[in-house]
């Protein structure tokens, strides 16, 4: 995470975008419910994420935090409630008579393009090099000319400190490097919001730092981020908003200060176990 | 880096290098001798037994009819496999479709074509012109026709042969393709979706290329099987392929054995070539999946992007990442 990562001055930052749209949340969840069959995973989640801020979602496994993140990116469909991204309802549009119409494949893809997502298991395309992984969506989704996409991809990879690993296949990279490629791949689509689903949980302990470093750097640039993680230290240091979920509901939320001064017994209990 | 040990690192300065005699393996020496003797007996029998009539084998090996037969056998194999692979991919994708009608059609197709003998199907295609004398394009379920043609001119014996083989093969290959598609981690599709890729593009760019790795070995098997299944097209009847050609000569000159050998030599030769092609394809689609370059200096070409100057201490990290990479 050294000098390679500093050429960021020209980035169209989320902070600038926020200046253009004051007051409107980047992501707003309204009474969100999700059930898988009889399993009621989310039981009415309300959340507001302002542009340019970092929200860290904490909670024990099975609390529904990953599911919530996947709902924002429409990898799961809502059972109840509504999620708006930049004021636009996701997954559905409201017809003139007030009924909901499911969006088609193309409309969903367009909404997803505003969101970047990073997965616990990286999910890099193993048959493509790091560079090809990052180029893939700009070339095939945005129809960017290959030469331009190559340049962009090299820039994004350099930004995450992997300028010297462009032609490596994922299997030739360490877990931390793979996750940084995954971040670069998401960033290459110029998302307005980045979603991180336990990005360091599959990593060996000594590799966690390099990934958190890249995330911290993104936060400093003003990227709107929602991070599901168990890294309490990262939450304390980087988060603008901390949300503690358990049993499918938001138990406690507030500034990063709530980690040092939890009110709810369940949150206290959780913090005692992870710290 | 004391922990970095190559398994047989010649050229490395290892002070306490072990030099020990290998385990005695008397049993394997005995087994090798026995097998060698048996093999020698077999070869001697083949070469010296006059009833194999090697001079006739040699005389007919490059016979014009035989070479033509080789050509048609190859042509039938290639055409029917190409058509079958295209059909199989479509059937496999239909089978995984969200549309129940497409799923049903695919299921029915596979059920029907796997469930009846290929010989029967070939006879049926041979009789196609009798069953359906004219093919026409018009408005379905009405008598309006824009264009029509005699079935006999379209479904010639050759066309009936490859259509029959391809349709049958597609049913088997569809299951192979489906297994390949299902073996790809669902996280791959999710990552592609998250990047804004549409379903068809995800299939084409992300899922299929990875599924190919799993699909190719059994498809190679099927291709080699197809090479020999082409001999069944006499059911159509189509009579120019290798098996029929050699058989016809054998019947004419009353020498069945040498001509069976002629046919076998050609089948073996083509199979060998197909195996080479298969291994080339496996290498191509194995990109990014191949084994790590661990302590194999001079035994493996450097991996793409990996240069000789690769810092050594990175190798351990990459090794650890190997199995993670397979999940990714």
Listed range (A10-24, A183-197, B254-268) with the worst mean pLDDT? A10-24
Do the Cβ atoms of B239 and B65 come closer than 8 Å? no
> What's the pLDDT at B52?
85
Which DSSP state fits A274?
H
Quick one: tokens of A217? 């750097």
What is the mean pLDDT of the segment spanning B246-272? 93
Q: Is the pLDDT of residue B285 over 60?
A: yes
What is the mean pLDDT of the segment spanning A77-100? 92
| A90-146 per-position pLDDT tens digit | 999 989 998 999 999 889 988 988 899 999 999 999 999 999 999 999 999 999 999
Angle formed by the axes of helices B242-253 and B54-61, to 10°? 130
Other CB atoms closer than 10 Å to residue A178's CB: what's the count?
A: 32
What gap in Å lies between CA A171 and CA B304, rounded to an integer? Answer: 12
**In angstroms, what CA-CA distances link A194 with A51, A56, A74, B20, B138?**
11, 12, 14, 59, 54
Q: Is the pLDDT of residue B147 over 70?
A: yes
CB contact under 8 A, A122 and B205: no
Q: Is the pLDDT of residue B149 over 90?
A: no
Do the Cβ atoms of A120 and B328 come closer than 8 Å? no
Domain assignment present for residue A231? The answer is yes
Length of chain A: 275
Domain assignment present for residue A11? The answer is no
Interface test with B, best of A172, A181, A196 (most B CBs within 10 A): A172
Please name the member of B196, B285, B326 whose beta carbon is closest to the beta carbon of A113: B196
What gap in Å lies between CA A132 and CA B253, rounded to an integer? Answer: 62
Model confidence at B150, pLDDT cuts 50, 70, 90, reads: confident
Surface-to-core class of residue A265, CB atoms within 10 Å of its CB (0-12 exposed, 13-18 middle, 19+ buried): exposed
Other CB atoms closer than 10 Å to residue A61's CB: what's the count?
A: 10
Domain that holds residue A88: 23-273
CB contact under 8 A, A73 and B198: no
What gap in Å lies between CA A247 and CA B193, rounded to an integer? Answer: 28
Domain assignment present for residue A9? The answer is no
Minimum CA–CA partner of A115 in chain B: B194
**Where residue A153 sits, what CATH number does that domain have?**
3.40.50.300
Query: Which carries the bigger pLDDT value, residue B33 or residue B298?
Result: B33
Q: CATH topology for B65-140+147-245+264-290?
A: MetI-like fold (1.10.3720)
Please state the domain count of chain A: 1
Do the Cβ atoms of B227 and B77 come closer than 8 Å? yes
| Preceding omega of B313 cis (within 30 degrees of 0) | no
What gap in Å lies between CA B119 and CA B166, rounded to an integer? Answer: 13
What is the mean pLDDT of the segment spanning B186-214? 92
CB contact under 8 A, A122 and B198: no
Q: Does A241 touch chain B (CB under 8 A)?
A: no
> What's the pLDDT at B310?
38
Model confidence at A66, pLDDT cuts 50, 70, 90, reads: very high
Domain assignment present for residue A165? The answer is yes
What gap in Å lies between CA B235 and CA B125, rounded to an integer? Answer: 9
Q: For tokens 């110029």, name the residue.
A: A190
> What's the pLDDT at B290?
65
Q: Nearest CA to CA, how far is B95 from chain A (Å)?
A: 19
Domain assignment present for residue A10? The answer is no
Domain assignment present for residue A16? The answer is no
Q: What are phi and psi of B18, to 5 degrees?
A: -80, 130
**Residues 114 to 143 of A: which have CB under 8 A from any B CB?**
115-117, 119, 121-129, 136-137, 140-141
Of the candidates B244, B227, B228, the one whose C-alpha atom is nearest the C-alpha of residue B236 is B244
State which H helix or E strand residue A233 sits in. helix A232-238
Q: Does A175 touch chain B (CB under 8 A)?
A: yes
Quick one: tokens of B26? 């008397």
Model confidence at B287, pLDDT cuts 50, 70, 90, reads: confident
Task: Tell me the count of A-B CB pairs closer than 8 A.
Answer: 130
Q: Write down the ipTM of this complex.
A: 0.86
CB contact under 8 A, A129 and B193: no
Domain assignment present for residue A18? The answer is no
| A196-253 per-position pLDDT tens digit | 999 999 999 899 999 999 999 999 999 999 999 999 999 999 999 999 999 999 999 9
What is the mean pLDDT of the segment spanning A253-258? 93
What gap in Å lies between CA A42 and CA A65, rounded to an integer? Answer: 9
> What's the pLDDT at B8?
66
Please report which residue ranges of chain B form alpha helices under DSSP H. Answer: 26-48, 54-61, 64-95, 100-115, 118-126, 128-131, 151-154, 157-183, 186-194, 199-202, 208-229, 242-253, 256-285, 313-327
What is the mean pLDDT of the segment spanning B142-167? 88
Please name the member of B185, B305, B327 whose beta carbon is closest to the beta carbon of A167: B305
Query: Which carries the bigger pLDDT value, residue A225 or residue B152?
Result: A225
> What's the pLDDT at A22?
61
User: At CA A249, angle to CA A258 and CA A60, rounded to 5?
Assistant: 70
State percent of chain A over pLDDT 70.
92
Model confidence at B306, pLDDT cuts 50, 70, 90, reads: very low
Q: Nearest CA to CA, how far is A195 from chain B (Å)?
A: 10
Domain assignment present for residue A268? The answer is yes
């Amino acid at each position: 995470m050294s000098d390679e990562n500093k050429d960021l001055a020209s980035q169209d930052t989320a902070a600038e975008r926020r200046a253009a749209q004051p007051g409107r949340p980047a992501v707003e969840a309204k009474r969100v419910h999700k059930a898988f069959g009889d399993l009621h995973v989310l039981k009415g989640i309300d959340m507001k994420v302002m542009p340019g801020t970092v929200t860290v979602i904490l909670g024990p496994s099975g609390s529904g935090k990953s599911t919530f993140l996947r709902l924002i990116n429409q990898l799961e469909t809502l059972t109840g409630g509504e999620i708006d991204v930049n004021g636009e309802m996701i997954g559905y549009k409201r017809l003139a008579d007030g009924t909901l119409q499911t969006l088609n494949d193309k409309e969903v893809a367009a909404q997803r393009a505003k969101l970047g997502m990073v997965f616990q298991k990286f999910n890099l395309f193993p048959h493509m090099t790091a560079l090809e992984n990052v180029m893939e969506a700009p070339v095939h989704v945005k129809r960017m000319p290959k030469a331009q996409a190559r340049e962009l991809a090299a820039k994004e990879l350099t930004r995450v400190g992997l300028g010297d690993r462009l032609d490596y296949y994922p299997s030739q990279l360490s877990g931390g490097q793979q996750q940084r490629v995954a971040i670069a791949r998401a960033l290459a689509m110029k998302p307005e919001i980045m979603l991180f689903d336990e990005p360091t949980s599959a990593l060996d302990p000594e590799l966690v730092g390099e990934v958190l470093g890249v995330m911290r750097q993104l936060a400093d640039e003003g990227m709107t981020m929602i991070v599901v993680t168990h890294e309490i230290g990262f939450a304390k240091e980087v988060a603008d908003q901390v949300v503690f979920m358990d049993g499918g509901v938001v138990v406690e939320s507030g500034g990063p200060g709530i980690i040092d001064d939890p009110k709810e017994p369940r949150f206290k209990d959780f913090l005692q176990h992870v710290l | 880096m004391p922990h970095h040990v190559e398994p047989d690192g010649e050229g490395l300065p290892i002070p306490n290098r072990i030099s020990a005699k290998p385990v005695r393996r008397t049993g394997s020496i005995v087994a090798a001798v026995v097998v060698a003797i048996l093999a020698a007996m077999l070869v001697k029998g083949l070469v010296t037994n006059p009833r194999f009539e090697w001079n006739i084998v040699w005389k007919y090996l490059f016979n014009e009819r035989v070479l033509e037969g080789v050509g048609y056998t190859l042509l039938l194999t290639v055409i029917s496999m190409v058509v079958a692979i295209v059909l199989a991919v479509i059937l496999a994708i239909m089978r995984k479709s969200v549309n129940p009608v497409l799923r049903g059609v695919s299921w029915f197709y596979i059920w029907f074509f796997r469930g009846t003998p290929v010989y029967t199907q070939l006879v049926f295609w041979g009789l196609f012109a009798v069953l359906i004398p004219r093919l026409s394009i018009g408005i379905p379920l009405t008598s309006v026709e824009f264009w029509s043609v005699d079935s006999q001119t379209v479904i010639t014996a050759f066309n009936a042969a490859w259509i029959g083989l391809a349709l049958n093969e597609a049913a088997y290959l569809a299951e192979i393709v489906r297994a390949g598609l299902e073996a790809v981690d669902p996280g791959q599709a999710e990552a592609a979706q998250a990047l804004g890729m549409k379903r068809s593009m995800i299939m084409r760019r992300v899922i299929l290329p990875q599924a190919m790795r799993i699909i190719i070995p059994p498809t190679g098997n099927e291709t080699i099987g197809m090479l020999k299944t082409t001999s069944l097209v006499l059911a159509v009847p189509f009579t120019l392929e290798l098996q029929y050609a050699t058989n016809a000569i054998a019947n004419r000159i009353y020498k069945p054995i040498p001509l069976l050998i002629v046919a076998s030599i050609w089948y073996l030769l083509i199979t060998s070539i197909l195996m080479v092609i298969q291994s080339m394809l496996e290498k191509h689609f194995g990109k990014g999946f191949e084994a790590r370059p661990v302590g194999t200096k001079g035994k493996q070409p450097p991996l793409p992007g990996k240069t000789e100057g690769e810092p050594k201490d990175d190798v351990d990290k990459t090794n650890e990442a190997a199995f993670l990479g397979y999940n990714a």
